[in-house]
Amino acid sequence: MKVFKFGGASVKDADSVKNVSRVLETQGFDSCLLVVSAMGKTTNALEKVVADYFAKKDYHIPLDQVKRDHLEISKDLFAEDHAVFAEIRLYFKEVESFLKRNKSPNYDFVYDQVVSCGEMISSKILSQYLNDIQFKNTWCDAREFIKTDHNYREGNVNWEETEKRIATLDQHRCYVTQGFIGSDEHNFTVTLGREGSDYSAAIFAYGLNAESMTIWKDVPGVMTGDPRKFSQVSLMDHISYEEAIEMAYYGASVIHPKTMQPLKQKNIPFYVKSFLQPEAAGTKVGITDHKNQQQSFILKENQHLMRIATRDFSFIAEEHLSYIFSLLAKNKIKISLMQNSAISLDLCVEDLYHMIDELTAELQTAFQTEIIKNVSLYTIRNANLEESNKIYQHKNVLMEQLSQKILQVVTN
């Protein structure tokens, strides 16, 4: 069985949904499972609904706009009396009903119940459209198969229970399901982290012992750099699991950090291909003895650079580090780069959940802190030191680190 993942850009409008069928024509639609993200920028729009809800603003305005957008897309795909229109309206009615009766002050819990609506609706639209044009499939709810703890917005998978449930799927049928979501033991929706649909596809591939997994993107495959950020990049046609894991760790946007581990455990080949050129080879990730020596560039933007120092000029010791790391974990702030001296610790961090001010306030009770917000982190793998500085030569370098031909530079 094959697993295909279609992201938001590949189902952003009616023409894109129709293009999915053209991709499937080139790949074959026998025995496959499609994992679908929310359409276009729907997740961002639903995040605005949650933010307005907690800010006591009129959240109906952005919610109604999301509903209108989906109904408009559907008008170009279905007849006026199609059952899908009632299903779309029902999903939005359920969101409104939830927000009206909700008593929980837990932002992350509310976020997961609301934002997951995007995947539910997009998968319904795609499944119905494919059935109408004779790509016969069964829609299924990913929350019935991917079981997690209740760490809302970044759920941890219960692998034993999840694998058992996924194994009940018929390997000879075709399915359409959602990325990004699972559910806890009380059947509340739990999301798997921003951009987590790739991870969902890997979970399903693992549970199905899939023949392969393919992620369909708007780029030809894994490139030596994001073509929107760097010039003269090229396609990497074949890389190892280890290289892909390393690139994801450093922030390559084309690969989700958690995707590779379940695939590597069962040696499931992983392809990154273009939905604009589905017959092109793309990039294969798998077992290989070939060590890729191409210089590659990764840019992580919207980072923050923190300097944490002891107040009495004592050494940054193990107990200090333990306390600092516990606060980072508590606030769900991830370290992208770390450098320490005798009396200070420099951290380049990623703040997905906008908790940096809370973290800073807690740290200042015990340390002196400085912070520079919205910096950029360049990572250059297989760095050519004579040439690599060209990509940031007009930037103000705040921190630099070199190890095993991996150069990392923080700039603003």
**pLDDT above 70 as % of the chain:** 100
Q: What is the arithmetic mean of pLDDT over 317-326?
A: 94
Q: Averaged over 14-18, what is the pLDDT?
A: 98
State residue 389's pLDDT score. 76
Report the pLDDT averaged over residues 339-357. 94
Which pLDDT score is estimated for 30? 85
Which stretch of 3-7, 27-31, 50-54, 272-276 has the lowest confidence by average pLDDT?
A: 27-31
Is 196 labelled as part of a ligand binding site?
no
Domain at 2-286, CATH homologous superfamily: Acetylglutamate kinase-like (3.40.1160.10)
Q: Which CATH superfamily is domain 296-411 in?
A: VC0802-like (3.30.2130.10)
Instruction: Say which residue the tokens 């049928």 belong to.
Output: 173
Contacts (Cβ under 8 Å, ≥6 apart) of 282? 214, 220, 221, 237, 271, 272, 273, 274
Q: Residue 60 and residue 133: Cα distance in Å, rounded?
A: 34
228 annotated as belonging to a binding site for a ligand: yes
Q: Is 7 annotated as a binding residue?
A: yes
| Res. 289: pLDDT tops 80 | no
Straight-line distance from the first to the last Cα atom of the chain, in angstroms, rounded to the nearest whole number = 47
Where does CATH 3.30.2130.10 sit in the chain? 296-411
pLDDT at 403 (0 to 100):
87
CATH 3.40.1160.10 in the chain: give the residue spans.
Answer: 2-286
Between the CA atoms of 74, 76, 81 and 85, what dihedral angle is there, to the nearest 10 degrees?
A: 10
- Whether residue 8 is annotated as binding a ligand: the answer is yes
Its pTM stands at: 0.92
* Of the candidate ranges 58-67, 190-199, 203-212, 286-295, the one whose mean pLDDT is the lowest: 286-295
Q: What is the pLDDT of residue 396?
A: 95
Confidence at residue 391, expressed as pLDDT on a 0 to 100 scale: 83
> Residue 323: left if φ>0, alpha if ψ -120 to 50, beta else—which one?
alpha
The whole-number average pLDDT for the span 397-401 is 95
pLDDT at 292: 77
